[in-house]
Chains A and B, each alone.
Chain A
Amino acid sequence: MTQDYRKWPEFDWLSGMIDWKKAEKITAGVDIGTTSAQAAILCDGQLFGCANIRTGVDFRKTADIVMERALGQSGMKTEDITEIVSTGWGHQNVAYARRSLDEIQCHAKGARYMYGPEVTTVVDLGGQTTKAIRLHSWDRVMDFMLNDKCATGMGRNIEILCDILQISIEEIGEKSLDVKMDPEPVSTTCFAFADTETIGQFRTDFRAEAMSPNEIYASHLFAVAWRILGTIGKLQPLDVGDITVYKELAFTGGLAKNPGITARIERELGVTALRSEYDPQLAGAIGAALLA
């Protein structure tokens, strides 16, 4: 009862290498999502500080806390930052931001910064929305797709499932990959259907061989990955007849940290996604800071 299976760890980080007082231009980006909120501070285009927290019930307070944690012990104040840009679903709640930009642009820009300039497809796997973005070779969005209504809440669904099944959210992905072969996915219509079906799979009476817990996780995460693939597949290709469009794919957002999802999307598309030293959840905030 006491363990909270759904909670992933929050963090903040401060660069010890940069003296912000000498920086010419300090910019910051704040990404307030439905489930998590991030802030990133850049000094002359270098990441100086960042924070990633869960979005609380008060979006304004969340915006204040995330910035406070990103500033940390650096001594920097919000007034010292030349330009602050907010983005994300709750962008209007960042009182200290001077302007707002849409998430698509910010994620595209942030992914290029984090994963290198060769990124052509960005897949943002957020708490409530899934976004697939195709980029021109210059930093320009060519096409983007948002999830359909019924595919809403994929990230949040994993949290809820982990809570019901009493398994840690950080382990479910790894465990789901520990199977010989992926079983049939559960319902791919919406997560309420999928959850009901996943619980039912623990039943053993009408199956010749009982499914192992790992197989059950696999069948659920495969269904989530399948729904995300539908969104990616609707993107416009780079060139007419180009079938290798998914090369240079980058995942951002919270579910990018779940190998049970990313490995399955990679397998179905036949590609290996790019890796980054940055936390994938920071893409929106870093992008906003770069565009400031």
Chain B
Amino acid sequence: MITAGIDVGLENIKVVILQDGKIIGRGIGRTGGAGRASAIESVMASALQEAKIEAGNVEKTIATGKGRYDAAIAGEQYTELVTAARAARFLHPDADAVVDAGADETLIASMEKDGRIRESTINQKCAAGIGTFLRNMADRLEMSLEELGALPPADPAGITVSDGCVVFGEMDALSCLNHGASPKEVAEAVIESAAIRACSVIKEPTLPIGDKILLVGGLAKNAAFVAALERQAGIRFIIPTDAEYAGALGAALTAIPLS
């Protein structure tokens, strides 16, 4: 059986095509605004090309993510929580919880042993936009996202920027630059502040989480952010390869009917 999952995020569209529990095609592209519908189609087309199949061969397509209702080709829509948990279960059958850190949203779902979601938390508004913030700051600091992700941990005695919200964070970062801090130092402080904000979401006191915690989403690829988050939260994350496709993978898995 061939199924497809589309994850329409704030910044990127991800598509995964599954055949009998194996990934046969993937695609990724920018989401955008007005041209979103055609962007979804072109990402889907590139995934189909990689899978070497026709659109008609896909039996069921499910969409997830912030823009899931924009994917006209999808038969059903599921929230990010469900698809993240589903992907986590598939990638790591004995995972206790999954953290999804993306451009706009940070969420955590703790799971029962049979894969059902027990508890979940999604960021409050003021912790929104962590991924977008890091990308914008990389641009402002004239670094690539890869360079930003390769930075060493911040000096605890060094500069800090506001961890209240992205707006204050950027203002503080510019202020530090203005007073002669090096871009590298500022970037380290920016990552630290982003990690503190993400940590405020995942360290929800009511959540009983175990020690096998998966980290998925685009931010899982940013090594510096992951290291800072691990330090802040006191958690060692399990990071699957191609973590940014987890939402789409979860959607494709959800499309498989339960036998």
| Residues in chain A within 8 A of chain B (CB atoms) | 1, 34, 56-59, 89-90, 92-93, 128, 149-150, 152-153, 156, 160, 163-167, 190-193, 195-196, 199-200, 202-205, 213, 216
Q: 6 additional contacts, CB 8 Å, given A190-B165, A213-B33?
A: A150-B167, A156-B170, A164-B11, A166-B35, A199-B33, A199-B104
| B125: A residues at CB distance < 8 A | 192-193, 196
- Contact call B167/A89, Cβ cutoff below 8 A: no
Pick the residue among B34, B128, B141, B166 that contacts A213 (CB under 8 A): B34
Q: Which residues of A contact B69 (CB under 8 A)?
A: 203-205
Residue B174 is within 8 A (CB to CB) of chain A in the complex: yes
Chain A residues closer than 8 Å to B178, beta-carbon distance = 34, 59, 89-90, 92-93
Query: Among the listed B11, B132, B177, which residue makes an inter-chain contact with A59, where contact means beta carbons less than 8 Å apart?
Result: B177
Q: Is the CB of B171 within 8 A of A195?
A: no
Closest to A161 in B: B33
B residues in contact with A152, CB < 8 Å: 167-168, 171
**CA distance in complex: A24, B246 (Å):** 69
Cβ of A195 and Cβ of B142 under 8 Å apart? no
In angstroms, Cα B10 to Cα A165, docked, is 9
B204 proximity list for chain A (CB < 8 A): none
Q: Report B66 CB to chain A, min CB distance, Å.
A: 6
Sorted from nearest, which 3 A-B pairs have the closest CB atoms?
Answer: A165-B33, A166-B32, A213-B34
Which listed residue, A58, A150, A167, touches B33 by the CB 8 Å rule? A167
Q: What A residues does B142 contact at CB under 8 A?
A: 56-57
**C-alpha gap A163/B174 in the complex (Å):** 20
Task: Give chain A nearest CB distance to B107 CB in angstroms.
Answer: 14
Give, as a whole number of angstroms, the nearest-CB distance from A200 to chain B. Answer: 7
B140 part of interface (Cβ distance < 8 Å): yes
A178 to chain B: closest CB distance in Å? 13
Is B167 touching A216 in the complex (CB atoms < 8 A)? no
- Please tell me which one of the listed residues A166, A191, A200 contacts residue B30 in the complex, with CB atoms under 8 A apart: A166
